[in-house]
């Protein structure tokens, strides 16, 4: 299948998505739209972790930290000055926090860029570590971000966090960023750098022996991943309208890791499909945690059940299908056409 056909089909698919969103905006209720929004954000987050871990082999558990940075930076920029005056009741905000203002797109960009900057700063010392040590150290970084968020009340409003963040993150913004992430990650993976990432993942020593500047490429992958994690965090902040340090615990990283592992490490298609499936499941399982009423009879909700199911699922996947649902395979139009034609063949068309 030629490059031109592919491009046309991609644009068509984007157009179909656009039509669907346009339809959804008018016809679906707020709850469904919220789920669609969460799907987009989770796909962004999953793609960014997949780039870092699935494609470059850097086991990072610091996603919650980058998301927190993105969410705080973006929220500070889009909250109105009057709102900030009302919010900062513990201690007044610094002047630069109070007066900072930016349109939504710039705010999200700023959130992502700040997260990327932190990614570089943290990556320079930490990316020399291997495997599990890197995981622990990045997890430590995320915890430090959280402790800072609690202890810098003049920037973050301390443990209270922000409320009433303007809900700019609608379907169009979220899916727009989602498509942009998808585009950037795919282009990156197919580029020369992408090949280098995979070489580092598969055998770092061999890559080094081939003369690859391993450290610089690790840093590049880590920083880009951190950027999109920051973007995801920024969108999430605007989407849920409330952020505080308690939100950015390890559970958040766990959810993203769950999506990436389920979909398949090193599969973009996997991350997208698992992003959709797991977001829907996570929402659906909320019912388990809330009480159910049958007339007068009440079946009490079981708090914690959601994560029990999800952690079990993760264990099962890692035990029995370590490569996830997609492995390293990807969807392509050529593959789809092949399937379709074969089917058509069988039916004698």
Partner 1 sequence: MTGAMFVQHALNGLTLGSLYALIAIGYTMVYGILRLINFAHSEIFMLGAYFVLWGITLLYLPWFVAIVGAILITAAIGILVDRVAYRPLRDAPRISALISAIGVSFFLQNLTIVAFGAIPREVYRPAWLENPILMGEVRVLPLTLFVPALSFLLMLGLVWIVYRTKPGLGMRAISKDIETSYIMGVPVNRIISLTFGIGSALAAASGIMWALRYPQLQPVMGSIPGFKAFIAAVFGGIGSIPGAVVGGIMLGVIEIMAVAFFPDLAGYRDAFAFILLIVILLIKPTGLMGARLEDKV
Half-sphere exposure of 31 (CA within 13 A, CB side): 4
- What is the smallest separation between the CB atom of 57 and partner 1, expressed in angstroms? 9
Q: Answer yes or no: are the C-beta atoms of 69 and 145 closer than 8 Å.
A: yes
Closer residue to partner 1 in complex, CB, 74/145: 145
- What is the smallest separation between the CB atom of 285 and partner 1, expressed in angstroms? 12
Degrees (nearest 5) of the Cα angle 314, 316, 320? Answer: 125
Closer residue to partner 1 in complex, CB, 17/312: 312
Closer residue to partner 1 in complex, CB, 254/333: 254
Residues of the shown chain interacting with partner 1 in the complex, contacts defined by CB under 8 A: 59, 125-126, 128-133, 135-137, 139-141, 143-144, 147-148, 150-151, 205, 250-251, 254, 257, 261, 302-308, 310-312, 314-315, 318-319, 322
- What is the smallest separation between the CB atom of 335 and partner 1, expressed in angstroms? 27
- What is the smallest separation between the CB atom of 177 and partner 1, expressed in angstroms? 27
Closer residue to partner 1 in complex, CB, 241/313: 313
- What is the smallest separation between the CB atom of 312 and partner 1, expressed in angstroms? 6
Half-sphere exposure of 72 (CA within 13 A, CB side): 28
Rounded to whole angstroms, the Cα distance separating 143 from 139 reads: 6
Closest CA to 41 of 59, 15, 19, 63: 63
- What is the smallest separation between the CB atom of 135 and partner 1, expressed in angstroms? 7
What does DSSP assign to residue 50? Answer: I
Given CA atoms 215, 271, 282, 312 in this order, what sign does their dihedral have?
negative
Degrees (nearest 5) of the Cα angle 238, 232, 264? Answer: 145
Rounded to whole angstroms, the Cα distance separating 64 from 70 reads: 10
Closer residue to partner 1 in complex, CB, 280/288: 288
Closer residue to partner 1 in complex, CB, 11/318: 318
Closest CA to 77 of 112, 43, 40: 112
């Amino acid at each position: 299948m030629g490059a031109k056909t592919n491009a046309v089909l991609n644009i068509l698919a984007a157009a179909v998505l656009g039509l669907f969103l346009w339809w959804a905006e008018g016809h679906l209720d707020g709850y469904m739209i919220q789920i669609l929004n969460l799907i987009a954000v989770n796909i962004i987050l999953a793609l960014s972790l997949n780039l870092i871990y699935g494609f470059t082999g850097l086991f990072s558990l610091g996603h919650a930290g980058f998301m927190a940075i993105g969410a705080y930076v973006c929220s500070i920029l889009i909250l109105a000055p009057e709102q900030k005056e009302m919010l900062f009741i513990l201690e007044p905000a610094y002047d630069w926090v109070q007066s900072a203002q930016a349109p939504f797109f710039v705010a999200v960009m700023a959130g992502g860029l700040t997260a990327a900057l932190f990614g570089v700063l943290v990556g320079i010392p930490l990316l020399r570590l291997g495997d599990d040590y890197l995981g622990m150290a990045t997890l430590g970084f995320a915890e430090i971000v959280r402790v800072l968020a609690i202890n810098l009340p003049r920037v973050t409003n301390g443990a209270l966090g922000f409320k009433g963040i303007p809900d700019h993150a609608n379907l169009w913004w979220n899916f727009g960023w989602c498509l942009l992430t998808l585009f950037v990650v795919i282009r990156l993976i197919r580029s020369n750098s992408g090949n280098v990432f995979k070489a580092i993942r598969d055998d770092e020593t061999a890559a080094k022996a081939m003369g690859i500047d391993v450290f610089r490429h690790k840093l590049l992958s880590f920083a880009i991943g951190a950027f999109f994690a920051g973007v995801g965090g920024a969108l999430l902040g605007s989407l849920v309208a409330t952020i505080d340090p308690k939100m950015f615990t390890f559970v958040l990283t766990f959810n993203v890791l769950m999506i990436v592992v389920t979909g398949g490490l090193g599969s973009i298609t996997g991350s997208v499909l698992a992003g959709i499936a797991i977001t829907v499941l996570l929402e659906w399982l909320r019912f388990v945690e809330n009480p159910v009423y049958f007339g007068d009879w009440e079946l009490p909700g079981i708090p914690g059940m959601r994560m029990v199911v999800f952690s079990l699922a993760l264990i099962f996947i890692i035990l029995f299908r370590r490569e996830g649902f997609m492995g390293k395979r990807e969807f392509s139009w050529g593959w789809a056409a092949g399937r379709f034609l074969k089917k058509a063949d069988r039916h004698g068309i």
